[in-house]
């Protein structure tokens, strides 16, 4: 019966580990309310909101490779408007602040894109 | 077979605890480096490679040296190495793992390390080094596991392991050659750009690796029932002797070409190492005492090793092996990488001293390697002890 | 041919391993296609530095300031970790093979502007394990991809001109102006002059060239153009036998594209 204390400790440890997501979230007081985004006053995005929500990471990655690695300068045509393939010059031009817009959903989804380690977070000069 | 790693006496667990403590320290310091960047090291824009890469250079030699026991045993049926071969392979696995870890801790963006595989670039020697090191790690793990398992079952190993073992022999030479090629093709660094760099790497590898193997075998014999045999140790000592002779010869050859030609591009780096450089009233000579200790130690060790009677005295041999490893470590693990950056291509002299954090992370990586070595050797010992008891 | 289950599994395993090993080769093929290896280079951008005119400290300051501001290069006080895309170095160090022992001290210490040479045969491109740096076919600029760089600093070991700088820590931006349309870098990547590729793709001239021309007496201190265009100013200067131009460390075979008028 000398294994009993070891078994009990082990079981407690497993219990704590398995319920980790629940008590950690409670302690972090994270909200499950839908994020409230600060949308730009006017204008239209290059694709619809639902498509953008699903695909914006891929769009940005494709743009990144095209512009940086292939020197592709073609503008994106949306109706009669032409846009540069740029996070800062196109996306951030309308969605002016990372904190007011991008971060709301990113925090909710707990994702940490590293784009803003280098690219500007606010619409600059 | 693997359960032997979990069964051990007090000595074993204390050793594991010791390595683990050092690993925890290394991890804590690495966490700091991961957050703050490589600024916590002593590297600079002029000396952009330092302790981490030089440890990788030294250890890749130790890893390659397993071939020095594998080749005689498997290619030439030198039976005396029978018990030693698995020790050599264990050392190779541990050393290669440390090599890869040292490169990892040296990266500025370690989370992107997979880019080397996702975007292979065959023109880069670093890509091939990655391939060679990974392949060598896998080879030795497979060979070690299969041969040990065969020994445990007291049955001959499966036939397919023979070509794998034969492959590991040129592969061992290749990991070292590729690492030398990292350096010896760069026109920007005349200190490295010499054809003799690859042979030098091999010579110092075959001196330091078997020397370390001798020490490990003697330690095992003192603390456990494992005895690889006097003949095996003596043969390794002979290998160390010839390799060290070649190493000293290569150093002298390099010194001649560099110093006789009087070309500043060559002379300056040797001058920095052996006499120090003077610029603007300041003297830069941090590595000078190290180099002289290294060269004198090399000569003394080689001189003693030349005498069979001296090699036969195992106490003296152990001391000489420590000297050989220290000399090769100073040469490869300290001087070789750093000296190529001093003076810089623009003629600047920036000295390099590793910071405490850098040394701490280095010790942590070594501890990971030694922990793996301890565990692997424990498994080997466990298997052999069971066989002897049966 | 009958095959038992064991040998089938063995063969399948070997085949899978073989295919797995083939992936790097596929990757190599894709890499080559991506960079259009085998395509001939259509043009080569080059710069000519007039050493005499660039001696003026106002010109040097204007060039370095314009470049570093345009690219959010941080101002780091520590000289061992400072980042420079363009800087002044002593002539004796810039042209070690063309400076003899009896040269006057003023000649040896003369400040010369140095930057990435965008070599024909760049050793940094040769050694990069991830192709984070490459020579562009369209204009010969040696580019940097900050997204791919793993910070191994092999390129810094390979560059014979000291043109590259590593970000040893996260750059502080309190002093530099944040430009909306040019990103900064994070710690752990290498950076260098890119011939202002974000400006030249819009048809503008590099920041340093503009800045030098704006200083009185600095017109013509830096000349920029396309070597493949025989009518460009750079081509004309290089073709003019009365103007003596040299390059840094020609004997290394890197083929630098920054020329100095002596």
What pLDDT, in 10s, does the model give residues B66-91? 899 999 999 899 999 999 999 999 99
| Count of A-C CB contacts under 8 Å | 43
Inter-chain CB proximity C150 and B186 less than 8 Å: no
Q: Are C81 and B45 in contact (CB under 8 A)?
A: yes
Which residues of chain C make contact with A125, given a CB cutoff of 8 A? 177-180
Contact of B261 with chain C, judged by CB distance below 8 Å, is answered with no
Quick one: CATH architecture of B2-389?
Up-down Bundle (1.20)
pLDDT at B59: 96
Label residue A71 by pLDDT band (50, 70, 90): confident
What is the β-pairing status of strands C45-50 and C258-261? parallel
The shortest CB-CB distance from A124 to any of C145, C146, C178 is to C178
Of C136, C177, C183, the CB nearest to A119: C183
Reading the block at residue C143, the tokens are 């580019």
What are the tens digits of pLDDT across the range B245-259? 999 999 999 999 988
C236 within 8 A of C25, measured Cβ to Cβ: no
Handedness of CA B28, B34, B40, B42 (dihedral sign): positive
Tell me what pLDDT residue C19 has.
Answer: 84
pLDDT of residue A119: 85
Report DSSP state, residue B156.
P
Interface mutation target, options C109, C130, C253, chain B, most CBs of B under 10 Å: C130
Strand partners, C191: C165
Give residue B294's pLDDT.
96
Q: Does B188 touch chain C (CB under 8 A)?
A: yes
For residue B179, the model assigns a pLDDT of 95
Does residue C58 sit at the B interface (CB-CB below 8 Å)? Answer: no
User: Is the CB of A112 inside 8 Å of chain C's CB atoms?
Assistant: no
End-to-end CA distance of chain B, in Å?
15
More confidently predicted of C106 and A37: C106
Q: Find the CB nearest B123 among C89, C126, C168.
A: C126
A112 contacts A88 by C-beta, under 8 angstroms:
no
**Hey, is the C-beta of C224 within 8 angstroms of any chain B C-beta?**
no
CATH of domain C42-261: 3.30.70.20
Among B292, B207, A125, CA closest to C69? A125
pLDDT of residue B170: 94
pLDDT in tens, C176-199: 445 557 888 999 999 999 999 989
DSSP letter for each residue of B254-317: HHHHHHHH--HHHHHHHHHHHT-EEETTEEE-TTHHHHHHHHHHHHHHHHHHT-HHHHH-HHHH
CA distance A6 to chain C (A): 42
- Rounded percentage of chain C residues whose pLDDT exceeds 90: 69
Given pLDDT bands bounded at 50, 70 and 90, which one contains residue A2? confident
Low-confidence ranges of chain C (pLDDT < 50): 36-38, 174-177
Contacts of C204 by beta carbon, 8 Å cutoff, 6+ apart:
C196, C210
Q: Is the CB of A117 less than 8 angstroms away from the CB of C186? A: yes
Predicted local distance difference test score (pLDDT) of residue C177 = 47
Closest-CA distance, B125 to chain C, in angstroms, reads: 6
- Where are the domains positioned within chain C? 42-261
Residue B208: name the closest of B35, B75, B68 by CA.
Answer: B68
pLDDT at C184: 87
Chains that touch B (3 or more CB pairs under 8 A): C
Q: pLDDT class for A123, splitting at 50, 70, 90? A: low
- The complex scores an ipTM of 0.93
Q: Which residues of chain B have pLDDT under 50?
A: none
Rounded CA-CA distance B356/B336 in Å is 21
| Phi and psi angles of residue B371, each rounded to the nearest 5 degrees, phi first | -65, -45
- Which residues does chain C have within 8 Å of residue A92's beta carbon, measured at their own beta carbons? 180
* Cβ(B301)–Cβ(B292) below 8 Å: no
């Amino acid at each position: 019966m000398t294994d009993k204390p070891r078994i009990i400790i082990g079981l407690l440890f497993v219990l704590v580990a398995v319920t980790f997501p629940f008590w950690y979230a409670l302690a972090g007081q994270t909200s499950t309310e839908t994020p409230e985004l600060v949308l730009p006053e006017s204008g239209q995005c290059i694709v619809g909101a639902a498509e953008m929500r699903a695909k914006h990471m891929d769009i940005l990655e494709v743009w990144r490779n095209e512009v940086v690695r292939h020197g592709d300068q073609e503008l994106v045509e949306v109706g009669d408007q032409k846009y540069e393939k740029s996070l800062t010059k196109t996306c951030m031009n309308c969605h002016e602040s990372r904190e007011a817009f991008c971060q709301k959903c990113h925090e909710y989804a707990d994702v940490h894109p590293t784009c803003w380690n280098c690219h500007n977070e606010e619409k600059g000069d | 077979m693997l359960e032997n790693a979990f069964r051990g006496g007090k000595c074993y667990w204390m050793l594991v605890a010791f390595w683990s403590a050092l690993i925890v320290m290394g991890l804590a310091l690495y966490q700091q480096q991961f957050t703050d960047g490589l600024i916590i090291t002593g590297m600079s824009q002029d000396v952009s490679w330092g302790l981490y890469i030089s440890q990788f250079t030294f250890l890749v030699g130790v890893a390659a040296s397993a071939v020095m026991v594998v080749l005689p045993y498997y290619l030439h049926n030198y039976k005396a190495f029978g018990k030693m071969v698995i020790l050599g392979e264990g050392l190779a696995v541990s050393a290669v793992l440390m090599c890869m870890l040292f490169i990892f801790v040296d990266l500025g963006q370690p989370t992107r390390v997979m880019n080397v595989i996702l975007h292979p670039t065959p023109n880069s020697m670093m890509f091939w080094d990655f391939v060679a090191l990974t392949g060598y790690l896998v080879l030795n793990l497979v060979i070690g596991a299969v041969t040990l398992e065969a020994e445990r079952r007291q049955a001959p190993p499966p036939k397919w392991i023979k070509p794998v073992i034969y492959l590991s022999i040129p592969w061992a030479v290749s990991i070292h050659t590729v690492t030398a090629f990292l350096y010896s093709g760069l026109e920007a660094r005349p200190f490295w750009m010499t054809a003799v760099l690859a042979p030098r790497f091999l010579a110092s590898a075959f001196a330091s690796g078997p020397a370390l193997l001798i020490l490990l075998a003697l330690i095992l014999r003192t603390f456990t029932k494992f005895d690889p045999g006097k003949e095996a140790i003596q043969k390794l000592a002979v290998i160390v002797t010839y390799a060290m002779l070649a190493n000293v010869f290569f150093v002298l050859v390099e010194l001649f070409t560099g110093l006789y030609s009087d070309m500043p591009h060559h002379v300056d780096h040797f001058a920095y190492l052996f006499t120090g450089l003077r610029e603007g009233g300041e003297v830069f000579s941090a590595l000078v005492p190290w180099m002289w200790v290294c060269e004198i130690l090399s000569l003394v060790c080689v001189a003693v090793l030349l005498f069979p009677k001296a090699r036969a005295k195992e106490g003296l041999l152990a001391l000489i092996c420590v000297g050989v490893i220290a000399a090769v470590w100073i040469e490869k693990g300290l001087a070789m990488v750093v000296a190529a950056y001093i003076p810089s291509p623009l003629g600047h002299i920036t000295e390099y001293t590793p910071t405490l954090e850098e040394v701490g992370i280095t010790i942590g990586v070594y501890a990971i390697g030694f922990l793996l070595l301890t565990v692997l050797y424990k498994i080997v010992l466990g298997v052999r002890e069971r066989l002897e008891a049966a | 041919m009958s095959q038992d289950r064991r040998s089938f599994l063995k063969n399948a395993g070997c085949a899978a391993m073989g295919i797995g090993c083939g992936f790097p080769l596929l990757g190599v093929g894709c890499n080559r296609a991506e960079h259009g290896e085998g395509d001939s280079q259509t043009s080569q951008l080059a710069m000519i530095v007039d050493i005499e005119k660039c001696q003026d400290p106002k010109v040097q300051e204007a060039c370095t300031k314009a470049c570093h501001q345009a690219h959010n290069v941080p101002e780091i006080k520590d000289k061992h970790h400072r980042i420079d895309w363009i800087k002044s170095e002593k002539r004796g160090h810039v042209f070690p093979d063309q400076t003899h022992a009896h040269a006057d001290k003023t000649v040896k210490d003369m400040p010369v502007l140095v930057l990435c040479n965008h070599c024909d045969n760049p050793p940094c491109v040769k050694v990069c394990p991830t192709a984070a740096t490459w020579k562009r076919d369209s204009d010969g600029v040696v580019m940097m991809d900050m997204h791919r760089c793993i910070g191994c600093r092999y390129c810094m070991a390979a560059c014979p001109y000291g043109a590259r700088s590593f970000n040893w820590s996260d750059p502080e931006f309190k002093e530099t102006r944040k430009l909306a349309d040019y990103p900064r870098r994070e710690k752990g990547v290498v950076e260098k002059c890119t011939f202002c590729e974000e400006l030249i793709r819009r048809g503008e001239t590099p920041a340093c060239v503009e800045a030098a021309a704006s200083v009185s007496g600095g017109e013509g201190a830096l000349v920029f153009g396309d070597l493949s265009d025989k009518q460009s100013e750079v081509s004309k200067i290089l073709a003019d036998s009365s103007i003596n131009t040299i390059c840094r460390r020609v004997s290394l075979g890197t083929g630098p594209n920054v020329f100095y008028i002596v």
